[in-house]
Amino acid sequence: MHTTIARSARALSLFCALFLAGNIIATGPAQSKSTKGHDHAHGHSHGANSEIYNGYFKDDQVKPRTLDDWDGEWQSVYPYLLDGTLDPVMADKAKHGGKSTAEYRAYYDVGYKTDVDRIVIAGPSVTFFRGKQSAKANYVTDGHEILTYAKGNRGVRFIFRKTDGDEAAPKFIQFSDHNIAPEIADHYHLYWGNDRAALLKEVTNWPTYYPSELTGKQIVKEMLTH
């Protein structure tokens, strides 16, 4: 209950994901490998936590997190890209970035692409919805990995391992939401699959989820605001 209240209170203060291409190195149990991909740090301020949000932090600042931080019902933003709802966001990026509107749309088409249109997280259970079909499983924490980007900033993947559930549910899920310690997520990028190490190398496709309570227009407003 407290998680739902906290997220509702913060829903209108969502920050948008500004994705930059870069090289990433996974540090920790997984083998390190340089790959051209997606830099999850953002270039806008978040008050006292701006340095952390921008990807500058010390290892000892990273703290374990539970699935409670992502509790709730979430929607993919990919359909909004496909139906043109996010066109104002792409146009705005073109005004301030180095690509055309069409190029940004193509870039995010690769990044946002997914057939999992909805995710519901409740306690240890995670349910993935593909239209009317669903796959559900229980997950436990499997630690985290710190990723270092080409320009020197970093990000953290919080990893969870399946303990039981539907065979169709992935063995591993990895969250990236720009936080490095326990905090209720506003939105997140999710990576899933059956190979923990391989997922860390995936940096071009980052399905992105916002609270299901938000409309497409509200998501656009938040992206443009931030």
pLDDT score at 122:
98
Say if CB 179 and CB 165 are below 8 A apart.
Answer: no
Q: What is the CATH number of the domain that holds 110?
A: 2.40.128.20
pLDDT score at 179:
94
CB atoms under 10 Å from CB of 126, counted, come to 24
SS3 112: helix
To which H or E segment does residue 40 belong?
none
pLDDT score at 225:
83
Q: At what angle do helices 87-96 and 216-225 cross, to 10 degrees?
A: 10
pLDDT score at 152:
86
SS3 28: coil
Mean pLDDT of each 10-residue bin along the chain, 226 residues long: 49 38 38 41 50 91 98 98 98 95 98 98 98 97 93 93 98 96 95 97 95 98 84
Specify burial of residue 173 (Cβ count, 10 A radius: 0-12, 13-18, 19+): buried
pLDDT score at 26:
42
Q: Give the distance between the most distant pair of CA atoms in the chain.
A: 47
Q: Taking Cα atoms as reference points, which of 130, 167, 155, 142 lies closest to residue 55?
A: 155
**Domain, as residue range, for 141:** 2-225
How many domains does the chain fold into? 1
pLDDT score at 7:
55
pTM for the full predicted model: 0.82
pLDDT score at 221:
94
